[in-house]
Structure 1
Amino acid sequence: MFNKTFSAAVHGINGFLVQVEADISDGLPEFLMVGYLASEVKEAKERVRISLKNSGFKLPVKRITINLSPADVKKEGTAFDLPIAVAILVTLGFIPEENIRDTLIIGELSLNGEINKVNGVLPIVKMALGQGFSRCIVPLDNAKEGAVISDIDVIGVKSLEEVVRYLNNESIIEPEYVDVEKLFQHYDEETDIDFSDIHGQVAAKRAVEIAVSGMHNILFIGTPGAGKTMLAKRIPTIMPELTLEESMEISKVYSVFGLLNNDQSLILKRPFRSPHHTISLTALTGGGRKARPGEISLANGGVLFLDELPEFNKNTLEILRQPLEDKDVTITRLNGSFRYPANFMLVAAMNPCNCGYYPDRNRCSCSVNQVQRYLGKISQPLLDRIDICIETLQINYKELEQNIINESSREIRKRVMKARMIQLERYQEEEIHFNSELTPKMIQKYCNLGASEKRLLEKAFHHLNLSARAYHRILKVARTIADLEDSLDIKASHLNEAICYRSIDKKYWSM
């Protein structure tokens, strides 16, 4: 007796189809599982066998063989328990074969027959729709997550017994429904933090507005308590709201990581990830024994904030160089390569020295060698990938006490959105969305300079000893500043401001 069901697993952040074949024949009683299986999949035979027994189904004293195909791709996770159990029940005649056609099944079984939630349901359901399946049977706790994919029925179940009754048409389970448009309409992004909380720091707030408008990377450098972290935490409040497409892409990463739940079927706000400086290289970029996304992928579409930047392990920081350029990260293992998105905005903050008060020699107790050694933890290639470097100065008592109504995040976001719309319209024929993504060829096309602007940039190039990458990044930032002022051309004032954001790092790293 032979039969099969369909299940799926996750590779990177995308689902792939797995065929679960079951054969029950005469011979020595045995339960075999084959198909390049990880240890947790091999253990499924015990979970399935006992779950079937406790659900009232007696396995015959025969040879049971389960094959998970394709056999050349390693199967990981616990989502194969339920499809294996269903394949066995179909083979034994407890469920009609025609009742599982066009059905994809995933779920982990408890020993008492209950079905537990699994990771990666969102990309699996999306893959199932693309493969032509009409319905997916998933754990009840994953039902809302899967139901954000329209045009396919997502059936949430809580026990093996319930699945059998449903597949035998003995009970009716209505497909889960999530009104995605309503989710976005009713989502209120008001938070307890706002740019109006920040007193002073006019230059820093201006730099943040430019950085968000063009999705440029930014570094804050200044004394302790000047407001670097406050500024960083408020950056998401001025970023544009997520589109459905962006939300789906971000939610797929969170689904694979297991960070979605039945109360949160989609990620509706831009991520803000702030890992501690003790984070390992693997936790930051992704990978591990069982490959999964890292912090840079969890920050996709949002902000990756690295506070106390020099305190991070230097090798960990250097690994960021490639994702910052390519906007994704590829993890290669013996059993395959995994690609994770990494299109984030890097925001970093640091003190200028160990004590935090350089170059104020009245307060700084560090020697020149100590300052150089501290700043030397940040390499020039990494600095070149940071478009804007801004100094946060210590604010005075009057600025704190003045009863001034500061500009709110909502007001700043309006200007950011206007600049973003200009970029979307300009690049509608290109494969990019922001000025920060401009390639050298695109820079020649969209960042034309007049004769006086060229002379200004040439003078800055030689005076600041800029690299070619820094040169291109100045032009990208200048393009964003021009967009904020609704200027078709990049003018000298735009270039001057962009050059200033590159000159502050020279103040510290060229001592």
Structure 2
Amino acid sequence: MGLAQAWSVALCGVDGLAVEIEADVGVGQPRTHLLGLPDASLHESKERVKAAVRNSEEEWPKQRIVLGLSPANLPKGGSSYDVAIACATLAAAGSIPCDRLATTVLLGELALDGRVRAVRGVLPALLAARRAGLTTAIVPVDALPEAALVDGITLHGAQTLAEVLAWLRGEAVELHEPPTPADPPLPTVPDLADVVGQPEARWALEVAAAGAHHLLLTGPPGTGKTMLAERLPGLLPPLNRQESLAVTAVHSVAGVLSFDYPLVASPPFVNVHHTTSIAALIGGGSGMAKPGAASRAHKGVLFLDEACEFGQKTIDTLRTALEEGEVRIPRRDGIARYPARFQLILATNPCPCAPPKETDCICTATVRRRYQTRLSGPLLDRVDLRVRMRATTAMANADATPPEPTAVVRARVLKARTRAATRWSSHGHPWQANALVPGPALRREFALPRPTTTLLDRALAVGALTGRGADRCLRVAWTLADLAEADSPTQDHVAAALQFRERRAYT
């Protein structure tokens, strides 16, 4: 009888912590005790592991087994500890050697017949294991493409527990090796040329893409609000390696990764229905909270169609994420932190009846006001661009020339983004888009001449603009200057940015 250790990983949000699983097999009534704040699914692992070991033609110890998961004060949940628990127990019973367990992290859920099943969060778990100094990892075969995204750790894939045990014994067993990472296929994005008319909205979409600004589109049904929102990802630059790993880690924890092409290399687009709950929007669930739509849209676009149909409490939960780029969800088991740096696109009708022509509206002023105030002032204050869509009756003659395709507009957007990133980096700042520049930096280090900001000062003086709104106007003005290839915003750029925030673009 003896003591043995194995390693697994506990996830808290997208952050992982290496967990040491100690197994003590000693004299006493045959019973398995699991310590270390396990949740219900982890408690059930005792029976899963026992059946998997027996069905792998191994003998489960007939003594008292104590399993301790350290750190003991960290809540642990899920089924990813099954393989590590099985190996630690058999090593403590003397059935397998302990040599390789000291530097190996084991991830995977066990089926009753001994198969190793895939689990969520393999990418952030392996990143945590690498930080803890573990040099080898055994993961389910299905998770190998995701695991191969992590450098600096030796990977093996296992289909059954028997393969893992044979490898630990040093037998001539061939575990599956990770495949060569394949570039994900280019996403199919609708072309902007499909949108006919709506020149103001198309221009606002280009400005939003060039500066990573939030956008509100208001207009009757059928005017192209959803079409424009769906075409925004095609205007955005591709994600760099660090951004791709951050987005992939969130999608891994959420369990929405593709098995064939796990790396998320392009900005995600998440369309949320107006009946969604708070937990589905920002994250939640029992135990440790899971990521919601806001985090799945990290570094991409979060689209809320029929925004005024959302519950006000539900949509107002986005306010902190819009300001800080992070979602923090406190629970009994701890605080889950998920990144949520997304572009918010809102689309709404001007009133509940939403006729094609405003003159046909049958809503009273009270009904319209109640409908529009579902988007609260503090939320709208965080939206940089507000655009009123043209009526369908005016769309046919809106443009005499063919609309520009996505490739043409995207070229201008990438050029503006490059100008912005070069400008901020030349002053030693890491900001990649104008929407990320803090207000104090805009007012001090990059302050504009007083005549240029006269309109902002006047709007602040009469209470038509908040301090946050003035900062956002400055960011939009810098984006307009980048699109115009100007060195700094002019008074016209500031006036245009202020016009984007006028309330009448919404009402």
TM tier, shorter chain?
Answer: over 0.9
Equivalent runs, 1:181-200 vs 2, <5 Å: 183=183, 187-189=185-187, 191=188, 193-200=190-197
| Structure 1 residue 395: Cα displacement | 3.9
> 2:61 and 2:358 mapped to 1: Cα distance?
84
Match of 1:148 in 2: 149
Q: CA distance change for structure 1 residues 404 and 172 in 2, over 3 Å: closer, same or farther?
A: same
SS in 2 for 1:362: helix
8 Å Cα contact 1:464/1:506 also seen in 2: no
Change (3 A) 1:467 1:3: same
C-alpha distance in structure 2 between counterparts of 1:433 and 1:397, whole Å: 38
Corresponding residue for residue 267 of structure 2 = 270
Which blocks of at least 5 consecutive residues in structure 1 are unaligned?
none
Aligned to 1:28: 29
Change (3 A) 1:405 1:38: same
154-163 vs 393-402, greater mean Cα deviation: 393-402
Instruction: Show the 5 A alignment for 1:391-406.
Output: 391-396=388-393, 399=396, 404-406=401-403
Secondary structure at the counterpart of residue 66 of structure 1: strand
> Quick check: 1:105–1:137 contact (8 Å CA) kept in 2?
yes
CA deviation string 1:216-261 (max 9, x = no partner)? 1100011111100100010001000111111100000011111124
Match of 2:198 among 192, 197, 201: 201
TM-superposition CA deviations, 1:433-456 (whole Å, max 9, x none): 221122222112455333432323
Change (3 A) 1:447 1:351: farther
What is the CA deviation profile of residues 347-374 of structure 1, one whole-angstrom value per residue up to 9, with x for unaligned ones?
Answer: 000111111249x553111111111111
Matched to 1:434, the amino acid is: A
Structure 1 window deviating more from structure 2 (77-86 vs 264-273): it is 264-273
Match of 1:474 in 2: 473
Alignment of 1:279-318 (within 5 A): 279-290=276-287, 291-318=289-316
For the 8 Å contact 2:96–2:165, the answer to whether it is kept is yes
1:366 aligns with 2:368: no
Amino acid in structure 2 at the alignment position of 1:496 = A
Letter in 2 for 1:102: T
Aligned-residue offset at 1:93: 2.5
Aligned-partner residue type, residue 378 of structure 1: L
Q: Equivalents in 2 of 1:443, 1:70: separation in Å?
A: 45
Q: How does 1:214-253 map to 2 (within 5 A)?
A: 214-253=211-250
Report SS of the residue matched to 2:10: strand
CA contact (8 A) 2:137 2:154 kept: yes
Per-residue Cα deviation, 1:287-323 (whole angstroms, up to 9, x for no partner):
2213111110011000000111110000011111111
Report Cα offsets for 1:321-348 as digits up to 9, x if no partner: 1111011011112221111101000000
Change (3 A) 1:288 1:309: same
Written as runs of structure 1 = structure 2, the 5 A alignment for 1:421-436 is 421-428=418-425, 429-436=428-435
Q: Aligned partners of 2:241 and 2:450: how far apart in 1?
A: 43
How far apart are the structure 2 equivalents of 1:437 and 1:177? 37
Q: Distance in 2 between matches of 1:339 and 1:507?
A: 35
| CA apart distance, 1:63 | 1.1
* Structure 1 residue 423 displacement after superposition: 1.6
SS in 2 for 1:220: strand
Q: Tell me the TM-score normalized by structure 1.
A: 0.94
Alpha-carbon distance, 1:390 to partner: 0.6
The separation in 1 between residues aligned to 2:56 and 2:292, in whole angstroms, is: 39
Give me the whole-angstrom Cα distance separating, in 1, the residues matched to 2:69 and 2:399: 69
What CA deviation, in whole Å up to 9, does each residue of 1:174-229 have, x standing for no partner?
A: 531433xx516xx424x251101111111111111111111111000111111001
Structure 1 letter corresponding to 2:123: L
The Cα shift of 1:275 comes to: 1.1
1:136–1:155 Cα contact (<8 Å) kept: yes
Q: Is the 8 A contact 2:5 2:102 kept in 1?
A: no
Query: Could you tell me which residue of structure 1 aligns to residue 123 of structure 2?
Result: 122
Q: Structure 1 counterpart of 2:300, which letter?
A: G
- Distance, in Å, in 2 between the alignment partners of 1:297 and 1:192 is 21
> Which TM-score applies when normalising by structure 2?
0.95
Q: How far 1:131 sits from its partner (Å)?
A: 1.5
Question: Partner amino acid for 1:482?
Answer: A
CA RMSD of aligned residues (A): 1.9
**Distance in 2 (alpha carbons) for counterparts of 1:160 and 1:383:** 54
Partner SS state of residue 119, structure 1: coil
Deviates more, 1:430-439 or 1:390-399: 390-399
Tell me if structure 1 keeps the 8 A contact 2:198–2:390: yes
2:103 partner letter: D
CA contact (8 A) 1:448 1:490 kept: no
Runs of 5+ consecutive residues of structure 2 not aligned to the other structure: none
* Percentage of matched positions with identical amino acids: 35
- Residue 484 of structure 1 corresponds to 483
Q: Distance in 2 between matches of 1:48 and 1:398?
A: 65
- Give me the whole-angstrom Cα distance separating, in 1, the residues matched to 2:398 and 2:75: 62
Q: 1:353 to 1:398 in 2, by over 3 A?
A: closer
Distance 1:271 1:508 in 2: 27
Q: 1:61 — aligned with what?
A: 62
The number of equivalent residue pairs is 502
> What is the CA distance between 1:463 and its match in structure 2?
6.1
